[in-house]
Structure 1
Amino acid sequence: MKKLLILALIITISACKEEPKVDYTVVTGKITNKASGDFSIQSFDRTFEKTLEVSEDGTFADTLTVDGNSYVLYDGKNPIFMHLESGYNLNVTYDATDFDNTLTITGKGSEINNYLLSKRKNQKELFGNSKDTYSLDEAEYKEKMGSIKDTQLALLESVKGIPGDYLEKEKRNLNYSYLYKLSDYQGAHRYFTKQQDFEVTEGFLNELEGLDYNSVDDFEFSQDYKRLVTSNYRKEATDLSKKDSIENDIAFLKTVSSIDNEVIKNGLLFDHATFGITYTKDLDTYYNTYMANSTDDDNNAIITEKYNKLQALNAGKPSPQFVNYENYKGGKTSLSDLKGKYVYIDVWATWCAPCLGEIPSLKKVEKQFHDNNIEFVSISIDKLPDHEKWKTMIEEKELGGVQLFADNDWKSKFVTDYQIEGIPRFILIDPEGNIVDANAPRPSNSKLTELFTELSI
């Protein structure tokens, strides 16, 4: 009897012990017909990126330590937007040649991720063609956005197995998405209808009034909430820029620095600096303003590394090189081949709308300075599967200058050496191969021709 009591006690104690907390996520799967190139996972805030190894049969498996929620699995063509938490064990399979119809996600955590797949698919179908939707009048547009929100909410509530905490956050997120689409309407309507003086009527944005911009939970969970918060402080920064006659990017850092909430302040500072530091005209002031106000050591280390690399791109420094890039007209071209002339470089891609928007202006500038001591070079960072699309666009749009195809898209050494985080990006190099401006004015900016004239090009 005594032995039985002891055994029962042991069983009871064992049953009461907490299961060890899992602080990692397992992601496995198989890709059929995968094209060449990397397969990676990246967090939305770009603080985490890892290349996943894919075996010859297309299978992959990795264990990840995640400290956020939103990630993207990407094979170079097909993005899979995912929600990851510690303890998830997900299996992802698809045929790369029929991605939309074959993508399957199973395992622990699959309920939320399958909801996200359905949500994105429905959003795309419901929103329709951007030009048609943004060209609607105010009443029609608002009604359509409201209908999309209601449909997405019904989808969310129909899914079984979604945890209550996620459910409540996602309900708020759907409303933030609706509000962001309203705030986005004026600028998009101007763009698609070519009515640059268009203004939304008084009351159109009433639903944004009184919005709380200090919710850490929503800031970390909802990309659209973060966009709304960012937009709010951008407006304040514009006012400060005009008032104090300072550059808008510096004004934004100063405006955000007054936020009391450390998480939101640090998040906005980092999001802006990740791209902004590579574009700013006053690198030292930008960096010092950022560092004086950010209290996140990990973020600061990333921005400091960027700053140190950007020091090598100051005016007068030797330009990073590109070597043996494919030339549309045949053969290979290196930057050194163009020595003796100024070189104006346009880094672009066929999928980049702002890049395409610069083409008419670029053609005009090329024509104006055609007989001068300058070469106009366009470097496409399209991925290899879009190589033919690149060639076709050159033909159809009758692109001039020297048309080159980078050797490894975004990861090309020339692109990473110039710390290019967004396109289009324009660079001006002098006849000796030194940097004149690592962030040269765009062709549509009159300051470009002023700069060329000043340099006697």
Structure 2
Amino acid sequence: MKKLLILALAISVFSCKTETKPDYILISGKITNKLPSELSINTQDRSFTEAINVAADGTFKDTLTVENGSYVLYDGKNPIFLHLESGYNLNINYDAKDFQNSLIITGEGAPENNYLAEKLKKTRELLGMNASLYALSEKDYKEKQLAIKDTLTTILNAAKGVSKSFKAQEENELHYNYLGSLNVYERAHGYFTKNTDFKVSDDFLNEFDGFDYSNEADYNASPSYKKIVADHYAVKIKDYIEKDSLTQEEAFFKTARGIESESIRNTFLFDVANQTIVRAKDVEAFYKTFMEISTNEENNSVITEKYNQLTAVVKGKPSPKFVDYENYKGGKTSLDDLKGKFVYIDVWATWCGPCKREIPFLKDLEKKYHDKNIEFVSLSIDKVSDREKWKKMIETENLQGVQVLADNDWKSKFVTDYQIQGIPRFILIDDAGNIVDPNAPRPSDPKLVELFTELNI
């Protein structure tokens, strides 16, 4: 009997060990026909990103130690939305020239991720073009979004092998995605119908009556719920600005202070601050207020690092330099080559719509100041591999000034030194190479000419 008991215990211990999942995720695969210039795994809000090396034959393999949740595998063109959990061992293969029809996902975690791939494909098919979708009447739009939700729910119910926990989480996500679609309708309908005064009917958003904006579990698990919460607080920020005459930053911090959930408050505070501190007029005051409100040490560490970097690129400090950037007219150009003149730098890219909208205004400025003590530099962060696209746009748009191409797009040292996370971005440097304004007004902003006048340019 004693021997049998020992044997049973041994089997029990052995069984527990074999059922224990690893605390990491394996991801591998092969991309055929065209090697990507980059491959990375990212959170959907890009607060986390990690590069994955791709071999010469298109194969890749990596071990990830990330929190369970939603991620995007991105090759620079094709996004693959993934659900990752500890213990997953995913193998992902596709033909870069026929991504939509060639994607194959196998391994542990495949059922959940094949469902997500089918969900994305079906969603795009059902939504159609934005202009047609958002031009629909309130009734037709809501019916279409409900039909999409029902179709995706049917696909989820038919998916074999998905875990119960994933299914429950995805049912929540589909519900919140539907509600989120209602949230954006007013703005989108007004934009696509060119009716900027459009307002939805009083009962259009009645499904939000009694909505709980403090559900921490859903905030962490559902990207759509998180966006609904973010939109909710964005409206509060706007109200504070319009009704209380607060600045954008004052309204943001007042809104953040009013969030009851500490976890949601910290995340919302960090998400916004991480993107906007680079544009703060008073970086020190912004940082001080953030630190007063935030209680998350990890977030505080990230913002502190950004603050320390930003204090190196404030008014009066020597500007970071770009060195030997390719010049459209031939040869190489460095920032030091322009010393002796003020330098107005436009950081842009051929794919950036807001950047292109500034081009006519920039051309007018260049004509007005062509004989003044200032150089206009357009610094493109297009990929070096897109050099021909960059050159073609310069020719097509007859762009003037100094046209240079950054050496490593977003990762170029000049770009990272200035903590540039969004474009267009405009920087003004004086004739001695010192920063006048790291966030200078846009060419379309009359304040830029006022600034030039103050500086006797």
Does the pair score TM above 0.5?
yes
Which band: TM-score by shorter chain?
over 0.9
1:17 and 2:13 are equivalent in the alignment: no
Q: What's the offset of the Cα at 1:53? A: 2.6
Q: Distance in 2 between matches of 1:257 and 1:450?
A: 36
Return 27-36 or 150-159, whichever deviates more: 27-36
Return 284-293 or 28-37, whichever deviates more: 28-37
Kept in 2: contact 1:71–1:83 (CA 8 A):
yes
Return 352-361 or 254-263, whichever deviates more: 352-361
Return 286-295 or 175-184, whichever deviates more: 175-184
CA RMSD of aligned residues (A): 2.3
**TM-aligned CA distance change 1:140 to 1:429, over 3 Å:** farther
Identify the residue that residue 205 of structure 1 maps to in structure 2. Answer: 205
Identify the residue that residue 306 of structure 1 maps to in structure 2. Answer: 306
The equivalences for 1:252-331 within 5 A come to: 252-331=252-331
Q: Distance in 1 between matches of 2:441 and 2:201?
A: 34
Identify the residue that residue 378 of structure 2 maps to in structure 1. Answer: 378
1:7-58 deviation per Cα after TM superposition (whole angstroms, max 9, x unaligned): 7435544455353342111111122244363432222344433222333322
Return 332-341 or 224-233, whichever deviates more: 332-341
Identify the residue that residue 430 of structure 2 maps to in structure 1. Answer: 430
SS at match of 2:148: helix
Identify the residue that residue 340 of structure 1 maps to in structure 2. Answer: 340
Q: Distance in 2 between matches of 1:366 and 1:136?
A: 43
1:129 and 2:138 are equivalent in the alignment: no
Gaps of 5+ in 1: none
**TM-aligned CA distance change 1:352 to 1:221, over 3 Å:** farther
Kept in 2: contact 1:250–1:289 (CA 8 A):
no
Residues paired across the two proteins, number: 456
Q: What's the offset of the Cα at 1:264? A: 0.7
1:405 and 2:405 are equivalent in the alignment: yes
Q: What's the offset of the Cα at 1:307? A: 0.4
Identify the residue that residue 223 of structure 2 maps to in structure 1. Answer: 223
1:67-118 deviation per Cα after TM superposition (whole angstroms, max 9, x unaligned): 1412222233333221111111111112333322322211111111111111
Q: Distance in 2 between matches of 1:141 and 1:306?
A: 42
1:160-196 deviation per Cα after TM superposition (whole angstroms, max 9, x unaligned): 1222222222222222222222222232333334333
The equivalences for 1:3-402 within 5 A come to: 5=4, 8-9=7-8, 12-14=11-13, 17=16, 19-35=19-35, 37-242=37-242, 244-402=244-402
Identity rate, percent: 56
Q: What's the offset of the Cα at 1:282? A: 1.8
Amino acid at match of 1:71: Y
Q: What's the offset of the Cα at 1:303? A: 0.8
SS at match of 2:403: strand
* Structure 1 outlier segments of 4+, above 6 Å: none
Return 31-40 or 274-283, whichever deviates more: 31-40
Q: Distance in 1 between matches of 2:377 and 2:203?
A: 48
Q: Distance in 1 between matches of 2:229 and 2:160?
A: 31
**TM-aligned CA distance change 1:204 to 1:367, over 3 Å:** farther
Return 71-80 or 282-291, whichever deviates more: 71-80
Kept in 1: contact 2:325–2:334 (CA 8 A):
yes
Q: What's the offset of the Cα at 1:413? A: 0.7
Kept in 1: contact 2:68–2:86 (CA 8 A):
no
Q: What's the offset of the Cα at 1:213? A: 0.6
1:414 and 2:414 are equivalent in the alignment: yes
1:221-268 deviation per Cα after TM superposition (whole angstroms, max 9, x unaligned): 222221211111122222333455432133212311222212211110
Q: What's the offset of the Cα at 1:158? A: 2.0
Return 109-118 or 11-20, whichever deviates more: 11-20
Kept in 1: contact 2:35–2:58 (CA 8 A):
no
SS at match of 2:393: helix
Q: Distance in 2 between matches of 1:420 and 1:269?
A: 19
Kept in 2: contact 1:254–1:289 (CA 8 A):
no
Gaps of 5+ in 2: none
SS at match of 2:279: coil
**TM-aligned CA distance change 1:36 to 1:94, over 3 Å:** closer
**TM-aligned CA distance change 1:16 to 1:156, over 3 Å:** closer
Identify the residue that residue 443 of structure 1 maps to in structure 2. Answer: 443
SS at match of 2:98: helix
**TM-aligned CA distance change 1:361 to 1:115, over 3 Å:** farther
TM-score scaled by structure 1?
0.92
Amino acid at match of 2:292: A
1:335-379 deviation per Cα after TM superposition (whole angstroms, max 9, x unaligned): 222222222222122222222233333333333333332222222
Q: Distance in 1 between matches of 2:200 and 2:190?
A: 10
**TM-aligned CA distance change 1:441 to 1:134, over 3 Å:** farther
Return 262-271 or 349-358, whichever deviates more: 349-358
Amino acid at match of 2:323: V
Amino acid at match of 2:386: D
Q: What's the offset of the Cα at 1:448? A: 1.9
